[in-house]
Amino acid sequence: MKKCLVCIIALVLISSTRLLAQNRTLKQVMELKMPKEAGDDLCGTRGAGVCWNPITKKYYAAFCGNIGFPMAVFTPTGKRISSDSLTTMEDIRGIWFNPSINRVMANGYNDIGWINYELNSAGIPTTNYYKFTGMNQPTEQSVGSYYTLLKSVAFRDGSQVVLYQTVGNTSAEVKESVQIHWGRKKSEGPGENEEELADDYNGNVVATNIKNAEFGFLNTSSKQIELYNYKEGYLQQTLKLPESAPVESVFNFAYSNGIYWLFDIENRKWIGYK
């Protein structure tokens, strides 16, 4: 009897530990202050994203909206090492690191296409070239995020995550799509008003590459980040944000190097949470 009781207690503790691991509050761990000030010429407003390059050991952050908007390179501690004059060189929307080709890449507005950045010996982008042009994304404002395990770029399209894979050097094509069941666990099954709930979330999807919690979404209504699985699109983890965290309905949300990033438009800085 005593042995049985010990087993029951152990199971309860394991279950509680797993629950705490899945539902927790994130803490701010660092900041990336972007160049220029509000009101400066071509200063930019909305953040396109943040990516980590494990080869150069640098963060790359950028604005979306104009080829002349700022891009910046930071050390692992968040110190900017690029000049005020560094720009995105294209009207980009999402930015990521592709480990298959060891390149920092970005997708552009509408049918601009995808680009690769050329870096100098210090890891600073000096120029870019087009991987391919054309509408290789669901919508004109789609923001790409790299899903390493499938060598695909993930985009959100309504209540679906659409995965694009490159075809040679000419274009990308849809590999598959995953239906997201907003706020619902597998035990609850699909909801009846999933399309309506989609409006409570930021327009970006981030690919975390966390097993069974591969896709992350920013719930702007509840001020939390929710992780869903690639296999079936059900909720796996809920990560509460601090009350002070800046949340926006479009753009300004990214994930890289194990950190969730939110862009503070007013103070022009990316804030990292972990």
Query: Which element (helix H / strand E) includes 9?
Result: helix 2-22
Taking the C-alpha atoms of residue 183 and residue 36, their distance in angstroms, rounded to an integer, is 38
**Chain segment 219-243, per-residue pLDDT in tens:** 999 999 999 999 999 999 999 999 9
Distance CA 247, CA 253 (A): 8
Q: Mean pLDDT throughout 187-210?
A: 93
Q: Residue 170: which pLDDT band, with cuts at 50, 70 and 90?
A: confident
Rama region for 110: left / alpha / beta (φ>0; ψ in -120 to 50; rest): left
Record the tokens describing residue 113, joined without a space. Answer: 């296409």
The CATH architecture that domain 24-273 belongs to is 6 Propeller (2.120)
Does 19 score more than 90 pLDDT?
A: no
The 10s digit of each residue's pLDDT in 110-153 is 999 999 999 999 999 999 999 999 999 999 999 999 999 999 99
Per-residue model confidence as pLDDT tens digits over 27-69: 999 999 999 999 999 999 999 999 999 999 999 999 999 999 9
Pick the more confident residue, 20 or 76. 76
* Residue boundaries of the structural domains of the chain: 24-273
- 3-state SS of 66-86 is CCCCEEEEECCCCCECCCCCC
Residues 17/43, Cβ–Cβ less than 8 Å: no
pTM of the model: 0.91
**1 vs 4: CA distance, rounded Å:** 5
